[in-house]
């Protein structure tokens, strides 16, 4: 019998945690499988959450509570939960019940039906999402950006509701940066990925903690930490700017020598400004290329991580 670790980052929640734990307990019986529910407390100062987690851990033997020293953000909380997971498969979901527990069975069944797949992202159809309009728009925009910058498989949509093999989870916890994105880390390590459609429920308790500022911050983390394309574009612009300045200088000198320029000192001033301006752009491009190599060196996996076990 397979064991499934369900990792849920918790931030200032309480009522939803009782409902979530009860539903997972019932689902465990229905599917006749073993669940391990790991609740990662990312708000250790919030008394209501701490009390709720303590009570739930006493009520359900399959619940494991992991408490962080301080708030670290959803992504670090997820990676911490993956570190403590012992199941053959790891499932991640939110604590607000918008990811229906009943849909876990779809994830499990899809993983069993596709043994060649390393991870599955469960996404609701766009028109069925219960998020606010601006958040749905932001998610759709991020999906387009990820496809272009992160070389995400075409047609694949990221989601916080997903299942992955334990071997992949180990790679994520062994190779992450200071501001990680779990979905981007998954794409960085493997392209054996797929989507399935699931339902999406309206939020029952409280309000979302994902503000526009946090969405923008996550998008910037994706671009800066998982793609070197912006630096490559900067390098191309710098080299092109230097070539343009050289051509402009040659044109200015030809005009000065053969056609004359009415303004005294114009040729020398324009030549110097163009040369040093172009040189600055070239220098920025070269620095960008060095930064690309530093980033790739920092993200370099160990050789053993490149080999897929039989």
Looking at the structure, do residues 255 and 281 belong to the same domain, yes or no? yes
> Which is it for strands 162-165 and 89-92: parallel, antiparallel or unpaired?
antiparallel
Looking at the structure, do residues 121 and 212 belong to the same domain, yes or no? yes
Looking at the structure, do residues 177 and 243 belong to the same domain, yes or no? no
Q: Where does a domain end: 197, 226, 255?
A: 226
Determine the pLDDT at residue 17. Answer: 94
Determine the pLDDT at residue 59. Answer: 95
Q: What are the pLDDT digits (tens) for 143-182?
A: 666 666 666 777 888 889 999 999 999 999 987 777 788 9
Question: What are the two backbone dihedrals, phi and then psi, of residue 82, each rounded to the nearest 5 degrees?
Answer: -65, -35
Determine the pLDDT at residue 279. Answer: 78
Query: Total structural domains in the chain?
Result: 2
Q: Which residues contact 10 (CB under 8 A, 6 or more apart)?
A: 17, 39, 40, 41, 42, 43, 49, 53, 77, 95
Q: What are the pLDDT digits (tens) for 248-294?
A: 778 877 777 777 666 666 667 777 777 777 777 777 777 777 776 77
Q: Where does a domain end: 173, 202, 226?
A: 226
DSSP 3-state of 35: strand
Determine the pLDDT at residue 303. Answer: 45
Determine the pLDDT at residue 143. Answer: 66
Residue of higher predicted confidence among 75 and 90: 90
Residue of higher predicted confidence among 85 and 149: 85
Give the H/E segment covering residue 273. helix 266-298
Determine the pLDDT at residue 259. Answer: 73
Q: Where does a domain end: 201, 226, 251?
A: 226
Torsion of CA 299, 166, 73, 40, to 10 degrees: -150
Q: What are the pLDDT digits (tens) for 123-150?
A: 887 655 555 554 556 566 666 666 666 6
Confidence grade of residue 306 (pLDDT, cut at 50, 70, 90): very low
Looking at the structure, do residues 208 and 298 belong to the same domain, yes or no? no
Determine the pLDDT at residue 262. Answer: 63
Helix residue ranges, H only, 150-258: 166-174, 182-189, 212-226, 229-254
DSSP 3-state of 267: helix
Looking at the structure, do residues 174 and 272 belong to the same domain, yes or no? no
Determine the pLDDT at residue 125. Answer: 78
Q: Is the pLDDT of residue 226 over 70?
A: no
Q: What are the pLDDT digits (tens) for 21-72?
A: 999 999 998 998 899 999 999 999 999 999 999 999 999 999 999 999 988 8
Looking at the structure, do residues 192 and 289 belong to the same domain, yes or no? no
Question: What are the two backbone dihedrals, phi and then psi, of residue 112, each rounded to the nearest 5 degrees?
Answer: -70, -35
Looking at the structure, do residues 294 and 207 belong to the same domain, yes or no? no
Residue of higher predicted confidence among 118 and 298: 118
Looking at the structure, do residues 213 and 237 belong to the same domain, yes or no? no
Expressed as residue numbers, the domain containing 111 is: 3-226
Looking at the structure, do residues 261 and 132 belong to the same domain, yes or no? no
Looking at the structure, do residues 174 and 190 belong to the same domain, yes or no? yes
Q: What is the CATH number of the domain that holds 209?
A: 3.90.550.10
């Amino acid at each position: 019998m397979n064991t499934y670790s369900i990792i849920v980052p918790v931030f200032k929640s309480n009522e939803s945690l009782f409902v979530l734990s009860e539903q997972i307990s019932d689902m465990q019986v229905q599917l006749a499988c073993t669940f391990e529910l790991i609740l990662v407390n990312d708000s250790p100062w919030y008394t209501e959450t701490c009390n709720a987690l303590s009570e739930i851990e006493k009520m359900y033997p399959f619940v494991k509570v992991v408490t962080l020293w301080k708030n670290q953000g959803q992504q670090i909380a997820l990676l911490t939960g993956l570190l403590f997971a012992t199941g053959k498969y790891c499932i991640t979901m939110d604590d607000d019940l918008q990811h229906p527990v009943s849909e876990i069975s779809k994830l499990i069944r899809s993983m069993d039906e596709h043994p060649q797949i390393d991870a599955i992202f469960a996404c609701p159809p766009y028109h069925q999402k219960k998020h606010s309009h601006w958040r749905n728009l932001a998610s759709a925009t991020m999906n387009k950006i990820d496809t272009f910058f992160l070389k995400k498989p075409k047609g694949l949509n990221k989601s916080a509701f997903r299942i992955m093999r334990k071997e992949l989870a180990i790679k994520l916890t062994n190779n992450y940066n200071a501001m990680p994105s779990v979905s981007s880390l998954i794409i960085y390590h493997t392209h054996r990925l797929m989507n399935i459609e699931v339902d999406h429920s309206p939020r029952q308790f409280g309000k979302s903690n994902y503000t526009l500022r946090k969405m923008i911050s996550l998008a910037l983390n994706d671009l800066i930490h998982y793609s070197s394309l912006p630096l490559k574009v900067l390098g191309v612009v710098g080299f092109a700017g230097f070539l343009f300045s050289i051509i402009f200088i040659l044109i200015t000198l030809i005009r000065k020598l053969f056609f004359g320029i009415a303004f005294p000192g114009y040729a020398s001033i324009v030549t110097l400004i163009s040369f040093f301006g172009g040189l600055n752009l070239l220098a920025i491009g070269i620095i960008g290329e060095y930064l690309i190599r530093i980033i790739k060196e920092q993200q370099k996996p160990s050789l053993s991580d490149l080999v897929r076990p039989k």
